[in-house]
Amino acid sequence: MTIQTETMSETSLESAVAPAALSPTRPLYWSMRRELWENRSLYIAPLIVAALALVSFAISAVRLAQNRRLILALDPVKRAAVVAISYDLAAMAIMVTAGIVAVFYCLGALHNERRDRSILFWKSLPVSDLTAVLAKLSMPLLVLPLIAFAVAVVLQLTMLALGSIILLANGLNPMTPPLPLPQMWLVLLYSLAVISLWYAPIWGWLLMVSAWARRTPFLWAFLPPLALCLVERMAFNTGHFASLLNYRLGGFSEAFALAPTAGMHGVPPQIGLAQLDPTRFLSDPGLWVGLLFAAAFLAAAVWLRRRGDPI
C-alpha cells in the first residue's frame, strides 16, 4: 500500500512538472515579458502621444459643430475623407511614435545589457542566446505594432465619443456623415503588419549593431550606410545604394493599390479596403529578400551575443 502510494505520488509530481519542462515557448514568453518590464517606453511613449492627440482634438472640438455644418455641404466622397482626417492623423502619430521607439529600442537592446553588465546575470539563466535575441526582435516586429493598434483604437473611440457629445449638444447628428471606423481599423492593422514585415531587415540590422558596437551604436548603425551612399556618388556618380535604401524605407507602394489621382483637389486620400493589395505585397521579391537579410542579421546578433563580453 505504501509503495503504491509513493508510486502514485511520484507519477503525479512528474506529470505536474513535465509540461513546464517540455514547453519550448515558455522561456521566450518570459523573455518577452522581461523586455516589456525593462523597457516601459514601448507602451508609455504611444500613450503620451495619444494623450497629446486627444488634448489637441479637444481644443479643436470648439469649432467642431461649425466645421461639421461646412462638411455637410460637400459631396459625399469628400465628406468621408474630411471627417476621417483627424482620426487618420491620430493613428499616424501613434504609428510614427512606435517606429521611433522601435529604432531606439533595437539600438539599446543588446548594447545596454553589456554596458551595465547585466548580461552576466541573464546568461546565467537557462535561456539560450537565440531565445533572448528572438524576444528582443519580437518587440518591434510584433509587440509594438499590437500596442500601437490598441492605443490607436482606444484613442479614436475616445475622440468619437467626445465629438458625438459636442455635436449632440449643438443639435447635430454625430453619425452624419458616418465614420467608417471598422474599415479604418482593418486598414491600420494591415498597415502595421506591412511595416513589421517590410522593416524586418532594418530591425535585424539595428540589433546586430547593438550586439557589436562598444560605444555609440546609433552612429555605427547610420553612418556606414550614409558613407556608402556618399562614396558611391563620388566614385561612380551613381545612386544605386541610396535607391535601395529609399526602396526599403518605403513599402506602401507594394502593399496598396493607390490611384494616381488620389488626394487631388486639396482632399487627402482615404485608403479603403479596396486599396489593400496583400497578394502583390506577399509576392514582391523585395519582401522575401529582406526577410532573408533579417534572418542573417539575426544569426549574426545571436553569435555576437554568445561571444560578447561586458563593456
Residue 58 pLDDT > 60, yes or no?
yes
92: confidence class by pLDDT, cuts 50, 70, 90:
very high
Taking the C-alpha atoms of residue 185 and residue 196, their distance in angstroms, rounded to an integer, is: 16
pLDDT at 117: 87
262: confidence class by pLDDT, cuts 50, 70, 90:
very low
Taking the C-alpha atoms of residue 234 and residue 193, their distance in angstroms, rounded to an integer, is: 37
Q: Does residue 227 lie in a domain region?
A: yes
Q: Does residue 248 lie in a domain region?
A: yes
Residue 49 pLDDT > 80, yes or no?
yes
Q: Does residue 267 lie in a domain region?
A: yes
Q: Please indicate, yes or no, whether the overall pTM of this predicted structure exceeds 0.95.
A: no
pLDDT at 257: 78
The top-scoring range by mean pLDDT among 78-92, 188-202, 253-267 is 188-202
Q: Does residue 78 lie in a domain region?
A: yes
Displacement of CA 3 from its chain's centroid (Å) = 57
pLDDT at 7: 46
Q: Residue 126 sits in which domain range? A: 39-307
Structure confidence by residue, pLDDT tens digits, 175-214: 666 778 888 899 999 999 999 999 999 999 999 999 999 8
Give the three-state DSSP class for 12.
Answer: helix
CA-angle at 153, arms to 147 and 155, nearest 5°:
100
| DSSP H helical ranges for the chain | 2-22, 26-38, 41-60, 64-71, 76-83, 85-109, 111-115, 119-123, 129-138, 144-169, 181-198, 200-212, 217-236, 240-248, 252-255, 278-282, 285-307
Domains: count for the chain: 1
Give the three-state DSSP class for 276.
Answer: strand
174: confidence class by pLDDT, cuts 50, 70, 90:
low
Taking the C-alpha atoms of residue 41 and residue 129, their distance in angstroms, rounded to an integer, is: 24
Q: Which of 87-101, 121-135, 185-199 has the lowest mean pLDDT?
A: 121-135
Q: Does residue 11 lie in a domain region?
A: no
